Structure 1
Amino acid sequence: MKIRNFAPFLAHHTALSSPCSHTFHSAPHVMKRRFPGELEPAAGAGESTPARPVQGSVLPLAKRAAGNVRAAAERAAIAEAAAAEAEAADAAVSVVIQLQEMSADAPAGPTLSVPLNITPAQLEAVVNELLEADEPTPYSFYLNEAEVLQSLKACMTAQGASTEEVQVIKYQPLAVFRVMPVSRCTDSMPGHTGAILHVSFSPDGRMCASGGGDATVRFWDVSTCMPRHTCVGHKNHVLCTAWSPDGRRFASADRNGEVRVWDPETGKEVCKPFTAHTSWVTSLAWEPLHRAGDNPGQQCELLASSSKDKTVRVWNTRTSTCQFSLSGHSDSIECVRWGGEGFIYTASRDRTILVWALEADKTRAKCIRTLSGHGHRINSLALNTDHLCRTGAFDHRGNVYETPAQGTTLR
């Protein structure tokens, strides 16, 4: 657009109250620009009309924005009122339920008439009230094996359940043990004069054992955090340790290839040291508790140790002898595990895992399978029989069994 009379345009532009209000003079019409996108011809074609400031040119936009805000607020209020009305309608509808513990066949209390939109938190309060619990216990609730997550109405709608029928709701506690969050160091137990290389708790959780670079094994009382025994005998760093499954024995091995077995109650050795390994010991594994029922005295007495000398040796801690040895790897054995079905698993730097089966008299074992596929050395093994839901030598009820055979019942 060609602008004529440029000087008057600048003068009037400076005087305008709104930076977007401009006046342009052009032929054959004079156009007034009040706001971007709003153009209208001036009166009289070809006339030179002086520019005039447009007052409140932003006002229409502000009014429209305010109107939009009011409309959005009104829509939100309508939606909120509709939701409240629907919630009130659901609260007016009731359904008859029967509460029942998940592991019990008998119902817990009488049938109850509750609102259709009852939530799991409200059901939890009802159960705690029925059971007269001293402390509220959290529960999860299930309708026909489907968990009630938001409300009973949503769960029934998803299943197509009718409000005319009695709905059986099963519940179970979410947690039996309350675990406090660990937010600070509760205790420190000084004593070792060298690096601590291995720490483990006893099966009953009452004692803690540690081995380190000062060539000692130390037993600690967990309740008092005080030392109970300091066991001396190793000549080099204690690299690995292992508790027997029944907690009556504790094995430790050092960098010289020596294996020692201790009595945690007295801190004394129960047998002479095992010194057949020619290099340091990398891992220890006891025979599982339920496999020890055939041993004399029904105690855990067989211990397997792996070494960098490429062998695994199984020791009899009762007779202080080497029961047998396993050789088949071409490099250092990094880990040995004794499985729940009696197999021994060995992992090596040669990138293979060997599976060994013991004979009935436990005096020999043969390799029955080689597991290969790793591209680098194998440092550790994990078995699905490491932790079983069973009653053992120690359980959460406080029962302590005299023999392993008494604690082999699966729960």
Structure 2
Amino acid sequence: MSDSSLVFASRLCLFACLAFWSYVLNRPLGGQRLRIKRLSTSAAHGIRYEGTLYSKSYSFTFNASSITWRLHLPQRDDPRWFTATVNDILYTSSTGDISTSKLEIILWFFPVLFRFTSGPWANVTIDGLRIRVHKSTATPYWIQRLRENLVGTFLTGEFLRADVFRTAVRFAGLSEHEEDKPAAYTDPKAKLAPEEPPSADDDEPCGCCSPPNRTRSKSNGYAVYTHQEEADALAHADENKTGPLRAVDDDELRFSVLARGVHINNKEGRMYTFSRIDSQMRRNWAKDRGSFAMVAEECRWVHVHFPFERVAPRAWWTQLVSSLWHFPIDLMRTFNDPASSTNLYVTCLDVTFDSFRLRDAELVRQGLALIREKAITSNIDWSDVFFDALLDAFATRPAPPVRLHKSDKPHE
């Protein structure tokens, strides 16, 4: 066990003790406070936990409507022994917010022995996970690790399936201007105009309703349709068409990625599957503002058997001896890296960065490092000055220390 793990364990025990005595005494202790409205032997309702870390520079609040737990008798077809469910989670902190409607944790009893999983001792199911990070320069540690793992898998993993994979880049013309609105545009938030009797010129059917119901009127110079779908279709007709650059357009960039039915093997015994991925990064240099958003559905992170385990499966008694022998090792590995012993399933993932810099994009950072590594291993005689300049620009390696001479010191 590393020193960092021991320090983390000691801090976790300290915070748990402070939270317990805070609940018993009904007062904050050491910057920690736990309040529970109703507590029973199998559930807790109205949980609120407030705390501060790092000399009160980081504060967070955890809220949950209820937490229920239940013990089970393991069976051969369902070897679970513990189930915990947390409803309506809201975690707010100084760096970001997290919310989910339901979190379920299932702990298995020797799952490899019963051939229920390929190693993980727990299954975690999250229903509707929403993550909001305020600034990419202050990304929480576990979100940064998740980004590094996911991007690394996309760059170096094995794509087993990708039904649709599309990228798009657009320069300028992203911000909306009044003159960009088509003649049939109406504000979706505005109320539709009251219906008027149809005129003689509006007798042609629109294909979705009878002629008398296709009412149209003029309001502020724009056509207002009774069926808002018609106006929305006309408003988005030229969304993916890039016109000539104009003086009124801002200097901005939009990079989008769309994927459907993606299966990736990270070659470390993990399988990533996504039913749908939509991500977009925007950067406006005129206003010095950037943002990032990603929506993914049916996300799975599952541990699978290695090839040698699939070719030569072991007998049950061998699995029993191996499980008992490796149980202390699994406990140590789970403590150091809890995700290594977990299968994760997220129904819908929504990630948003309010302020995002291009140099903080993990895809750019790992992509440049991978290109440089491939160039070196392929014996390509390229000057390192080009790669060093890019790596320093995107802060993928620590910059050398800067020393100030006496003449460079600012005057007091």
Using the size of structure 1 for normalisation, the TM-score is: 0.21
More strand by share: 2
Higher relative contact order (CA 8 A, sep 6+): 2
Structure whose alpha-carbon radius of gyration is higher: 1
* Higher helix residue share: 2
